[in-house]
Amino acid sequence: MTTDVVTDRAPAGTSAAPGRARRRRRWLTQVGWRHVVGVLAVVFSLFPIVFVVSAAFNPLGTLSSTNLAPTNGLSLANFTELFNRTAFGSWFLNSMMIALTASAASVFLSALAAYAFSRMRFRGRRVGLLSLLLIQMFPQFLAIVAIFMIFTTVSEYWPPIGFNSAGGLMLVYLGGALGVNTWLMKGFFDTLPKELDESATMDGASHAQVFFRIILPLAAPILAVAGLLSFITTINEFLIANVFLTDTGSKTLAVGMYGLLEGTERNSNFGIFAAGTLLTAIPTVLVFQFLQRYIVSGLTSGAVKG
């Protein structure tokens, strides 16, 4: 008995090049183009970062002498000039204090509001939620004239929370962040089983005990996300801070750094500005690295309920 064996091998004397060419074309059409797009996206995103790093270490410190790749050597002169010629240290401390305090207060108050909207049923609940959503449709700087008039009066009677004060600026930031964070946290709280609240209530726990001992530990991911978003928004905010802060010692990083590029000094101060930009990015990167394990779960867990 004979058995015919069928194989996929090419006959002797024929070339396997056509098969390899087909596999190469298939890889390019199905997978390869994604690598090309990814490389282009990385180059596009890294271009401004590389340019700023090159400008920060450029010993000449001017915009006209800055190239993508350093051609004049590397120097720390721009960092030295930044601290000697400006109040960068004061700006940095002001920004950190305002951003951290405003973010923490915003997260805490938003968590309280989100817990009430998620777990309790009361008159005006739906209207309150829709009002928060409607208000967020309008940018906060549209109300800058009204806010300026209000704080003009506030500064006369309560200077500690008026112009050129961190307290007054944080109050404005809190008003703009509560709506977004409340909606974000409410969606997450809706995913937590209500049986946890009911069982704790049956054991004699109050609403405050349920919130602080049960809900908050479980809501750590969304608290981290809301805190990170609030921190980034606050530390980068410029328009409102530029109106409220006029004294050199009370300025934040965004306002102080903008002053370096005003008028005709844009070219000569660009190296100092780039050095300050690199130092300004450090807190945001550190906060992001510290909270990154919560970010994905916090953003996706509350996305299916509203």
Instruction: Read off the pLDDT of each residue in 163-182 and give the average, rounded to a whole number.
Output: 84
Asked whether 66 and 54 are in contact (CB, 8 A), the reply is: yes
Q: E strand or H helix at 1, and its extent?
A: none
Q: What is the pLDDT of residue 300?
A: 53
Per-residue pLDDT averaged across 244-269, rounded? 80
pLDDT (mean) for 272-284: 89
Q: Answer for the pair 240, 140: CB distance below 8 angstroms, yes or no.
A: yes
pLDDT-derived band at 34 (thresholds 50, 70, 90) equals confident
Amino acid 15: pLDDT: 55
The share of the chain scoring above pLDDT 70, in percent, equals 89
pLDDT of residue 98: 92
Asked if 54 contacts 61 with a C-beta cutoff of 8 angstroms, the reply is no
Give the best-scoring range by mean pLDDT among 95-109, 183-197, 251-265: 95-109
pLDDT(141) > 80: no
Q: Say how far residue 275 (Cα) sits from the centre of its chain.
A: 21
Nearest CA to 119 out of 63, 196, 27 is that of 196
Q: According to the per-residue pLDDT averaged within each range, which of 129-133, 149-153, 264-268 is highest?
A: 149-153
CA distance 57 to 271: 7
pLDDT of 93 above 90: yes
pLDDT reading at 33 higher than 60: yes
d(CA 254, CA 277): 9
Task: Specify the pLDDT at position 131.
Answer: 84
* 224-244 average pLDDT score: 88
CB 271 within 8 A of CB 78: yes
Structure tokens at 145: 């004239």
Residue-level length of the chain: 306
Q: Give the burial class of 89: count Cβ atoms within 10 A of its Cβ; 0-12 exposed, 13-18 middle, 19 or more buried.
A: exposed
Nearest to 70 by CA among 43, 49, 46, 50: 50
Q: In angstroms, rounded to a whole number, what is the distance separating the alpha carbons of residues 103 and 118?
A: 22
pTM above 0.85, yes or no: no
> What pLDDT is attached to residue 306?
42
Contact between residue 171 and residue 244 where contact means Cβ atoms under 8 Å apart: no
